[in-house]
A = this chain, B = another copy of it.
Amino acid sequence: MRVLVLGGDGFCGWPTSLHLSAQGHDVHIVDNLLRRKIDVELEVSSLTPISSLSERVKAWKGISGSDIKVSQIDIAEQYDALLDLITAYRPDAIIHFAEIRAAPYSMKSSRHKRLTVNHNISATNNVLAAIVESGQDIHLVHLGTMGVYGYSNHGATIPEGYLKVNVDLQDGTSINQEILHPAHPGSIYHTTKTMDQLLFYFYNKNDGLRITDLHQGIVWGTQTRETRRDERLINRFDYDGDYGTVLNRFLLQAALEYPLTVHGSGGQTRAFIHIQDTVRCLELAVSNPPSNGTRVQIFNQVAETHRVRDLATMISSKTGVEVAYIENPRREAAENDLKVENQCLQDLGLNPTKLADALLEEIVEISRHYRHRCDLSKIPCVSRWVAPRETTIDPVVVPLSRKRA
């Protein structure tokens, strides 16, 4: 298949591009290199020494014999260039990773909120409008996030995208139907992914676009089979307060013998998936497009869930590094449940890597090996969800009631 990978230079995009190429697909990367420019803005670097995108694809050609073409296009700003590329390349599938990620980054300031909203929404809408304008029947695969759901509602398992509800009517009957799961985003970044869902809903309904949305948990790990083949192919590893996700930060802290910093009580339950499984899921999604005439296909791309403090304890017990509890910058419940359905991708053949099997390997292979490249001052999260305001405003409490069925 011909696959256009938007955001193909990023943490998920790069190893996905290599994996698809290794599987025999024809891969064309589009990237505006914004993620690398944000490293410049934040004055941080990947812990791992990532090569330039040109060097990456050249190294891959040398090792695998396969070509990956690259177009430097900002899909949020350069619609005509995107449309021209789609028209000329005629992809079977487009994978859309080209959004600004990271909840803390999106909450740093008003400017970051606006950049995240404007870029992400324009990017997604441009891709959709371009597919329609091209007149081609292209399968769009989008990287969503578990963050669209919020957390488990009174212990309910989060379904894959659609929630079964009963609505009582005035005439005494009730309607039983599936609706798009209500959105409960926890940051501006997550809000943009919930807004994307509405664009997908509309273009699917109006134009019949075939779309798969993958609601991914927090990715951990760094390398995949392909990125491991040569250091010039190495994947990025973010450990800073904005882009470093909780588990990778713990792993690096352990390697540095730096206390594992847990925000608040660490009672937040999160969903996780290893980067090796991410690339496998993307290949499964590309190979299993929804039929024409069906609704948006939504999969939860998740291997397991853990409470943050349990993760810290697990790593502490394996490494002897202590745990430090610090203030939580996020506005969220101190403790939450998260039960997630994740059968769809397993039914397609995914057999996920579990944390218990690969944590130590990751610490040795990446965190210890590259710890000399770490700037300790960049580890704390400095973004705050709420700044001091003139008036004290109470948080909004959503009323809920529970009854026996």
User: Quick check: which of A4-12, A48-56, A159-167, A345-353 contacts chain B, the rest being far away?
Assistant: A159-167
Q: Is A256 an interface residue (CB 8 A)?
A: no
Residues B165 and A166 in contact, CB atoms below 8 Å apart:
yes
Q: How many copies does the complex hold?
A: 2
Contact of A135 among B178, B385, B389 (CB under 8 A): B389
Residues A202 and B177 in contact, CB atoms below 8 Å apart:
no
Contact residues of A between 353 and 405, Cβ < 8 Å to B = 385-391, 393-405
1/0 contact trace for A189-231 toward B, CB 8 Å?
Answer: 0010011001101101111100000000000000000000000
Query: Which residues of chain B come closer than 8 Å to A391, judged between CB atoms?
Result: 137, 292
Given contacts A137-B389, A183-B201, A394-B292, contact A155 B129 (CB under 8 A): no
> Interface size on A (CB < 8 Å)?
83
User: Quick check: which of A119-127, A264-272, A274-282, A310-318 contacts chain B, the rest being far away?
Assistant: A119-127
Q: Is A110 an interface residue (CB 8 A)?
A: yes
1/0 contact trace for A141-166 toward B, CB 8 Å?
Answer: 00000000000011111000001111
Q: Is A319 an interface residue (CB 8 A)?
A: no
Query: Which residues of chain B come closer than 8 Å to A180, judged between CB atoms?
Result: 182-183
Most chain B CB inside 10 Å of its own CB: which residue of A125, A130, A168, A185: A125
Residues B176 and A403 in contact, CB atoms below 8 Å apart:
yes
Distance (Å) between the CB of A160 and the closest chain B CB? Answer: 15
Distance (Å) between the CB of A106 and the closest chain B CB? Answer: 11
Contact of A157 among B153, B170, B182, B183 (CB under 8 A): B170
Residues A155 and B169 in contact, CB atoms below 8 Å apart:
yes
Residues B385 and A206 in contact, CB atoms below 8 Å apart:
yes
Docked complex Cα distance between A196 and B223 (Å): 39
Docked complex Cα distance between A216 and B177 (Å): 26
Distance (Å) between the CB of A54 and the closest chain B CB? Answer: 30
Q: Is A41 an interface residue (CB 8 A)?
A: no
Residues A390 and B175 in contact, CB atoms below 8 Å apart:
no
Q: A110-B130, A155-B169, A168-B405 are in contact. List 6 more A-B contacts (CB 8 A).
A: A118-B118, A118-B121, A132-B389, A177-B399, A178-B399, A183-B198
